């Protein structure tokens, strides 16, 4: 079982790494981080904070793009090219296939995060604005967020086309960052329909705003261990649930 899942994951990883989309996105991210220097002139202390914020935001943004763009077609591609016939005729269970695809893409994202973060620290060092290690906490939180988002992308990919999948995954990402507003909207809206939709979205869609601790790390606000542990646990449970649903849907599909 482990062999089969890791085999599929490795294949997914190779496919993405040998794909131009990934390399292009990583290069773009590095260019954006490097060009943050251009934002001049600002007070000296402010400049360092802005460079860090732009860098961390760029890492998150481009990894989210990789997750949505690559994840959105990850299963669809196998169906479209009929490679799925060969994979599923092997003694591979359908849930193993879904999990392997997911883990492969997560491996791609981990490598992308590492590459981009290394570039980010290099830029900080070159600019001489200081490169404290606690900035890494924000990167770790991005990884947790990506664990959820990628599961959502795989879910849509397991039954819809890449464009629909990407649009819906992006919508989940967008609404997921407005969780607090949704709850507020649900509380104050007089319309029962708006109330219902808001509550539904609030409880079903992932609460992604919690994963943004960039302001805290950039301004050096101290964070307790629970600020990391709880989101980590939340991401694990949420991603596992979404993957279970994906596997159940994929299990019923005919090719």
Distances (CA, A) of 64 to 38, 40, 50, 142: 24, 27, 21, 9
Out of 50, 63, 70, 87, which residue is the one contacting other proteins (CB under 8 A)?
Answer: 87
**Nearer Cβ to other proteins (20/192):** 20
* Cα–Cα nearest to 74, from 147, 170, 152, 2: 152
Distance of CA 213 to the CA centre of its chain: 15
| Contact call for residue 3 and other proteins (CB under 8 A) | yes
SS (H, E, C) 99-149: HHHHHHHHHHHHHHHHHHHHHHHHHHHHHCCCCCHHHHHHHHHHHHHHHHH
**Nearer Cβ to other proteins (11/212):** 11
Distances (CA, A) of 254 to 16, 162, 165, 197, 212: 26, 18, 19, 32, 40
| Contact call for residue 2 and other proteins (CB under 8 A) | no
**Nearer Cβ to other proteins (10/129):** 10
| Contact call for residue 20 and other proteins (CB under 8 A) | no
The nearest distance, CB 24 to other proteins, in angstroms, is: 16
What would the two tokens of residue 59 be?
A: 């890492």
Distance CA(218)–CA(143), nearest Å, equals 18
Query: With CB under 8 A as the contact rule, which of the stretches 42-50, 85-93, 164-172, 213-221 interacts with other proteins?
Result: 85-93
Distance CA(242)–CA(161), nearest Å, equals 18
Distance CA(29)–CA(46), nearest Å, equals 22
The nearest distance, CB 90 to other proteins, in angstroms, is: 4
| Contact call for residue 8 and other proteins (CB under 8 A) | yes
| Contact call for residue 79 and other proteins (CB under 8 A) | no
Distance CA(209)–CA(87), nearest Å, equals 37
| Contact call for residue 88 and other proteins (CB under 8 A) | yes
| Contact call for residue 81 and other proteins (CB under 8 A) | yes
**Nearer Cβ to other proteins (2/133):** 2
The nearest distance, CB 182 to other proteins, in angstroms, is: 37
**Nearer Cβ to other proteins (241/251):** 251
- In the complex, the residues that contact other proteins under the rule CB under 8 A are 3-4, 7-8, 10-11, 14-15, 18-19, 81-93, 254-255
């Amino acid at each position: 079982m482990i062999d089969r899942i890791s085999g599929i994951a490795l294949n997914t990883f190779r496919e993405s790494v040998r794909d131009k989309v990934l390399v292009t996105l990583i290069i773009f991210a590095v260019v954006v981080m490097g060009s943050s220097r251009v934002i001049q002139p600002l007070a000296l202390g402010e400049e360092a904070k802005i460079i860090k914020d732009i860098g961390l935001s760029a890492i998150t943004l481009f990894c989210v793009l990789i997750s949505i763009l690559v994840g959105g077609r990850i299963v669809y591609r196998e169906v479209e090219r009929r490679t799925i016939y060969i994979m599923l005729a092997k003694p591979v269970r359908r849930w193993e296939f879904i999990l392997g695809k997911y883990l492969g893409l997560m491996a791609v994202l981990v490598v992308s995060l590492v590459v981009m973060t290394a570039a980010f620290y290099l830029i900080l060092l070159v600019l001489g604005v200081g490169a404290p290690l606690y900035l890494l906490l924000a990167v770790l939180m991005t990884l947790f967020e990506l664990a959820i988002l990628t599961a959502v992308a795989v879910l849509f990919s397991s039954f819809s086309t890449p464009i629909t999948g990407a649009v819906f995954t992006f919508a989940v990402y967008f609404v997921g960052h407005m969780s607090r507003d949704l709850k507020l909207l649900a509380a104050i809206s007089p319309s029962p329909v708006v109330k219902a939709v808001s509550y539904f979205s609030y409880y079903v869609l992932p609460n992604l705003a919690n994963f943004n601790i960039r302001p805290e790390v950039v301004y050096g606000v101290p964070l307790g261990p629970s600020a990391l542990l709880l989101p980590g646990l939340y991401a694990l449970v949420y991603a596992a649930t979404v993957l279970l649903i994906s596997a159940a849907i994929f299990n019923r599909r005919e090719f």
